[in-house]
Structure 1
Amino acid sequence: MVSLVYLLAIFWQLASQKNVQKKLIKYASYFLVSILIILHFKTTINAVERMSDRRAILLQSKACLLMINVVPQDECLVTKRSPEPLRKTANILDKLGFLQPGLVKSKNIQDIAGERQTNLIYGYFDTVNQIDNRTYVANGWAILPERNEVADGVILTYENTEGEDIIFKLINQRMPRPSVREYFDNSVYLDSGWQKSFTVEEIPQGGVKLKAWAFDTETGKAFLLNKTQI
């Protein structure tokens, strides 16, 4: 922008010659307008990208809020103060009907399970790796194809003795998965990866079936990912 000031000074000096004054003013105006349009265009692109990032953060935070009664000790609720006031406020707002969809009230995933469309892929529960005697790490990727976005959250469940899938973990952080972006030829799915550690105390002892679900905070529904881990 500073260089434009010097250019204007040069143009003005040349413009003192009457025979070129009109042409210089005309071309200088075109030049300045073009520069302003380019700068405005770049600023707009940057603003749109930031809006998209902000939306993703807000939806991930909403996933934490909707699961506040089911996964009360999840890391996304850790703040400088106790999350208890937030939990009380959220439940009051939910009872008054201000939260749409409402808070998840049961650890049984079937209460919020959405119907999968057979022609759509919601993601994969890739692996569960044992880190030590107490700790495991699960990973995969999850998307919401109807919305053309990554999942707002990923829910991990274990199957109890009655065959029910019980919620025990919420994942609201994302990781880059270039392979998913390339497979769908869609840059929106770049950050569809997820990873989470858990301990043996969080699941029943013995062989346990683990499943992962893509969580949609706009509908309050969870969609089963492909593959089950044991």
Structure 2
Amino acid sequence: MVERFFFTRQIGGLGSIQPTTLLSGPPCCGKTSLLFQFAINCTSESVGNVVFICNKRRLENKPPFLSHGVDPSSDALQHIQIKYVDDDEGIKKFFAAFHLHDNFPVAVIIDDFGDFFSDRNCQQRYSNARGRDLAMVRTLALCWDAIAHANKKLQPKASCNLLVADTHQGDSPRLLFIYKRWIQCIFTIQGDGSGSYILKNSCISGNRQENMTIAKYSIALQHLALEEIVEQQKNQEVT
């Protein structure tokens, strides 16, 4: 549900979230701000913790903008645990020890997932020209397994969800063929040509795409601003 990325009273419960989700969009479209609002919504509803995995330098250079109406001193922000990693090895170490946790977070969010994988390092590590693809597949498999383990322990009373963000150029995620193996729901962002952005929710069910919910938003005056949310039928063009 696209509502989960915004400050709105009409968001569904945590049960409406798919266990694994991808948010993909072009550079400078507010992905980190959307991720942060998603984290705030999760902690507000469950009073549980969210782990936000990111690169420290990138987060400090481009901090997230809060939505209008969100209090910077809100208790929900205290339940977002920032974990800094430098590369894919840091992500793998975190998830390799996930089964040792006594208490699982309600969500784990990874910002700029693809940027943690260096072409050169991955090629050298696997002695393969497609080393980066191999590294991403293995890391996603580890993430999926860790989240599945947590949900086996938590359900039916609670759940743990994984939200991964990546950057793409063009109309679709650059490594969609990799993500589709491990991700159940994909959100994509496109500019509308007037300074705003369109967020689409397209859940995957086999080879079939379900109806989508469209959110139009903008980044204005250092705030994440939701403009409108509409339902789109299959094969309907966005105007």
Q: TM-score, normalised by structure 2?
A: 0.21
Higher strand share: 2
Higher relative contact order (CA 8 A, sep 6+): 2
